Structure 1
Amino acid sequence: MTTAARLPRPTRRPPARTVLVTTVAWALAALFLLPYLEMLVTAARPAGQLRDNAYLPSHFDLSAFTKVWTDTTLGQNLTNSLLIAAGATLLVLVVALPAAYYTARVSFRGRKAFLLLVLVTQMFQPTALQVGLYREFSTLNLLDTVTVLVIANAAFNLAFAIWILSAYIGSIPIELEEAAMIDGNNRIGALFRVTLPLALPGVVTAVIFTFISAWNEFIMGLTLTNTPDRQPLTVGINNMIGAYSVQWNYVFAASLVAIVPVIVLFATIERHVVSGLTAGSVK
């Protein structure tokens, strides 16, 4: 009995399907990470070895990560992108939350037409509207400012936020708000004390998609601004590509810096994204 009790338990091998799925997942992860590894290697190459055929340089030189801050407008461009992305996200939430709440809770005449119109606006691409946007903002004397990019990015992300928030708020039982109003809250109080806390995954989804979209936007930043220290980070990185020479180590170092805020944001709130995207899919 004692000898049998001391015998190690036989280990169960994972099913072949699990091993296959895990292997494919790791292979896909490595495939997606390879471009970032290439960017890191290129950024760490000495300037004299940028055109060498060898994958790895003879030695690594990280000076590009420090010089890119002093030799270019990267610092100001990074600040501009943070202001643009944060401002556009805040503006989208301020406008989308009341619109989504009203469409989710009130069955008004033309509700379906309104939601269809919101969806149709997603078909318009910023590239196709640049001439009209340029003339409009020129009339308003807003060109070459951070404000113009905040407004433009918010406008192009508003429809998606309304759809996500409307679906999520619609999945929250209205009886919870009615119970809060019986307890003495008005509709605004019920919204902020009951609905919004329950709708947090949907709000987070709208926040992260709006922030990433505004952070990665390039065409409007290139068209609506022309002063280097007023342009977003995407345009600032593009400015490092000259007509006769390209400082690839600077380009890749700045590109790696541009990835960090998005990774930090997504890692912080990613647990809410899946539930927000599936909002309204189950009734």
Structure 2
Amino acid sequence: MTRTRRPRLVAFGAAVVAVVFLAPYLVMVLDSLRTSTDVKTTPPSFLPRVWQWDTYATVLGDGRFPHWLFTSLVISLGATAVVILVAIPAAFMTARHHFPGRRLFLLVVLITQMFAPTSLVVGLYRQFFELNMINTYGALIITNAAFNLAFAIWILHGFFSSIPLEVEEAAALDGVGRFGMLRRIMLPLTLPGLVTATIFTFIAAWNEYVVALTLMIDDDKKPLTVGFRSYVTGYEQNWDQLFAASVIAVVPVVILFALIEKHLVGGLTAGSVK
């Protein structure tokens, strides 16, 4: 294989992968512009037979939609804030200080990643019922934070561990305390890892469905992932509105990715090259 062909093949392969991943989103956008009857028509057509442009206005005008969006934002931002506030000191202490039980602590944190929320949903419901937290934002914030905390601790632990010891020693000689060292020196150096942990936690909380479906009862307090179910029920099937709402729900995540893409790539590829 010549050197001129190899980049072309790589570019072609990348284009094929991009098309495969973008195809479902294209279908989702096209289905949001069809009539609900057209979505169910067999055999389906690639382009809508009748273009329906007011679907998004209908969804945004739905009085329930702002409540679902607000709930998703509160839960995602709250869970992300809890994870970052807990993961930073935990990762810093385990990476820069050796103490009895350090390895056991990291092992226990890793083990928590082995349990899926689906397998624990009954126990979670029982626990929050005893605490009188059913149908509250706090229950979902705590749950999402708990299931994403391990990932944040481990990725930040790796970043803190990669910082040379000489940096910490130089800061100590300048009279910088432990908290000042963390805030003024360590966190700026671990910014890519911090951004990576933040975006993954936010997306995981934004997309969570099973626990939210179980714990949230009032329609106004349901997040977007659960609220969408009301568009397609046993009595009415508004497929066009379901797809339009799904497209709208993707927009905040796309914007977030666009804003922090550089830091995110740096966090994911850190340590791959010495």
TM-score range (shorter-chain normalised) is over 0.9
User: Corresponding residue for 1:143?
Assistant: 134
Of 86, 110, 115 in structure 1, the residue corresponding to residue 106 of structure 2 is 115
Q: Deviations over 1:192-231 (max 9, x none)?
A: 1111100101101110110010011000100111111101
User: Corresponding residue for 2:171?
Assistant: 180
Rg larger in structure: 1
Which ranges in structure 1 are unaligned for 5 or more consecutive residues? Answer: 1-12
Matches of 1:167 and 1:70 in 2, distance apart? 46
Of 68, 78, 82 in structure 1, the residue corresponding to residue 69 of structure 2 is 78
User: Corresponding residue for 2:48?
Assistant: 57
- 1:278 Cα deviation from its structure 2 partner: 4.2
Measured at CA, do residues 281 and 54 of structure 1 come closer, stay the same or move farther in structure 2, by a change above 3 Å? closer
Q: Deviations over 1:9-43 (max 9, x none)?
A: xxxx9711111111111122112111111111111
Identity across matched positions, percent: 51
- 1:281 Cα deviation from its structure 2 partner: 5.9
Matches of 2:200 and 2:45 in 1, distance apart? 38
Measured at CA, do residues 54 and 274 of structure 1 come closer, stay the same or move farther in structure 2, by a change above 3 Å? closer
1:27 is the counterpart of 2:40: no
User: Corresponding residue for 1:97?
Assistant: 88
1:130, 1:223 within 8 Å by CA — same for their partners in 2?
yes
Measured at CA, do residues 61 and 251 of structure 1 come closer, stay the same or move farther in structure 2, by a change above 3 Å? same
The residue identity in structure 2 corresponding to 1:49 is D
2:71, 2:221 within 8 Å by CA — same for their partners in 1?
yes
Quote the RMSD (CA, aligned, Å).
1.8
Measured at CA, do residues 66 and 137 of structure 1 come closer, stay the same or move farther in structure 2, by a change above 3 Å? same
- 1:110 Cα deviation from its structure 2 partner: 1.8
Measured at CA, do residues 114 and 100 of structure 1 come closer, stay the same or move farther in structure 2, by a change above 3 Å? same
Question: Within 5 Å, which residues of 2 pair with 1:156-195?
Answer: 156-195=147-186
1:177, 1:191 within 8 Å by CA — same for their partners in 2?
no
Q: Deviations over 1:160-184 (max 9, x none)?
A: 1100011100101132122122222
The residue identity in structure 1 corresponding to 2:38 is Q
Of 207, 217, 228 in structure 2, the residue corresponding to residue 216 of structure 1 is 207
Question: Within 5 Å, which residues of 2 pair with 1:10-25?
Answer: 15-25=4-14
The normalised TM-score by structure 1 is 0.90
2:31, 2:243 within 8 Å by CA — same for their partners in 1?
yes
Question: Within 5 Å, which residues of 2 pair with 1:223-234?
Answer: 223-234=214-225
2:36, 2:237 within 8 Å by CA — same for their partners in 1?
no
The normalised TM-score by structure 2 is 0.93
Aligned residue-pair number: 271
User: Corresponding residue for 1:272?
Assistant: 263
SS at match of 2:232: coil
Measured at CA, do residues 109 and 280 of structure 1 come closer, stay the same or move farther in structure 2, by a change above 3 Å? farther
SS at match of 1:239: helix
- 1:113 Cα deviation from its structure 2 partner: 1.3
The residue identity in structure 1 corresponding to 2:33 is A
1:43, 1:250 within 8 Å by CA — same for their partners in 2?
yes
Matches of 1:237 and 1:61 in 2, distance apart? 19
